[in-house]
A and B are shown apart, each in its own frame.
Chain A
Amino acid sequence: MADKAEILSGLAEIVEEVAGVAQDDVTSEKSFVDDLDIDSLSMVEIAVQAEDKFGVKIPDDELANLKTVGDAVDYVAANSK
């Protein structure tokens, strides 16, 4: 299981690739929608790539609960094998 710093860094790479947000801006307290301007379809793309990268399942109903980058990091940390 990856530690949270590694997950954050990996997630930031994905967010940059999908939504064009600079990796340095992807920090734990940021809201995907309100701060990073990421829409619902880009969130799906991020989830799909995170599933591949971290070996987790992120169903759409869980995805709705991941409001901040920190929420996503915590979810991956708790659910990755």
Chain B
Amino acid sequence: MSTNRPALALRQGPAATRVLGVGSTQPDRIVTNDDLAASMDTNDQWIRERVGIVERRFAGEDERLVDMAVTAGAKALADAGTDPSEVDTVIVPNCTMPSPIPNAAAQVADRIGISAAGAFDLNAACAGFCYGLGVASDLIRAGSSGKVLVIGAEKLTDVVDPADRSTAIIFADGAGAALVGPSDEPGIGPVVWGSAGESVDMIYMREHRYIYQEGQSVFRWATTQMAPVAIRAVEAAGLELSDVDVLIPHQANLRIVEAIAKRLRAKGARDDLVVADDIRYSGNTSSASIPLALDHMRAAGTVKRGDIVLIVGFGAGLSYAGQVIVCP
């Protein structure tokens, strides 16, 4: 059926995108297992065996989520050699802003010097960075955005009961960012994502104040269900598991990370696959953990430019997402 109504114009972006630069920040204050043992019934050995954490960083009262996001985002721009004026969109995956209004992204964009950015927060909990990266890549491919800054930032110490030893030993603060832009060669594979809302009660805010999780159930879900998601992400990128150089799962618990790596090796990942263990010195920083690990590993030389990196995030919702990226 024809009408006289004029057709809407559409934009079309470039076919491929890549990560142009990464950056991260953590608070200065280091909290060791012994520090925690001084105020609750736990000890260094127990924490290392259960979650693999040696120490973590806690933000001070005057260090806000948005402050960490600004620092990490500016570092990612500097790493890419990109001026803020070249960026038009800012996404801040997080789940720990002190209140829902205002969001973090608009003020973060302004403070970095990105004028009138399209700016929004994205809450997919610990899967947030992978969700954000997938959205950023597709915004560019669709022609909606030119360059997108994705900043996973969390101040989890605001939502942790300092007396609850099941969570206080795990969660920490920090921010990690990636600048995404057009590319001649594909540097970000298709995102594979999903959710399991029927298991919403596995991780939630107790009395809307403190984070709570069913440790065993979350462990079972993550160790059995996330390797298949990672494999689907590799397949979606048209690669084999043996092509993957580096695995960076969300740094939830070192034993979950190791269990995912073991399953991937059983399915064809290489024995010399480099596996992120940044949780040892960073704790679980939710949506910040993957870019934090990538930035730290790149600085340490364990991940090099051009490496094929498989990332997978998972957490409250339940929600999960993963994709393959090429290290900038």
Chain A interface residues toward B at CB < 8 A: 39-41, 43-45, 47-48, 60, 63
> In the complex, what residues of B have CB within 8 A of residue A48's CB?
220, 223-224
The winner among A43, A48, A63 for most chain B CB atoms within 10 A is A48
A-B contact count (CB 8 A): 26
Interface-forming stretch among B91-99, B116-124, B211-219, B315-323?
A: B211-219
Chain B interface residues toward A at CB < 8 A: 49-50, 214-217, 219-220, 223-224, 253, 255, 259
Pair A44/B49 contact, Cβ less than 8 Å: no
In angstroms, Cα B112 to Cα A70, docked, is: 62
Pair B216/A40 contact, Cβ less than 8 Å: yes
In angstroms, Cα B50 to Cα A40, docked, is: 9
Grouping DSSP codes into helix (H, G, I), strand (E, B) and loop, the A interface class, with mixed when no group exceeds half, is helix
In angstroms, Cα B49 to Cα A60, docked, is: 21
> In the complex, what residues of B have CB within 8 A of residue A45's CB?
223, 259
Interchain CB contact (< 8 A) of A41 among B214, B219, B224: B219
Of chain A, the residue at the smallest CB distance from B253 is: A41
Q: How far is the CB of A41 from chain B (nearest CB, A)?
A: 5
Known A39-B50, A41-B219; further 13 A-B contacts with Cβ < 8 A: A39-B49, A40-B215, A41-B50, A41-B215, A41-B253, A43-B216, A44-B216, A44-B219, A44-B223, A60-B214, A60-B216, A60-B220, A63-B216
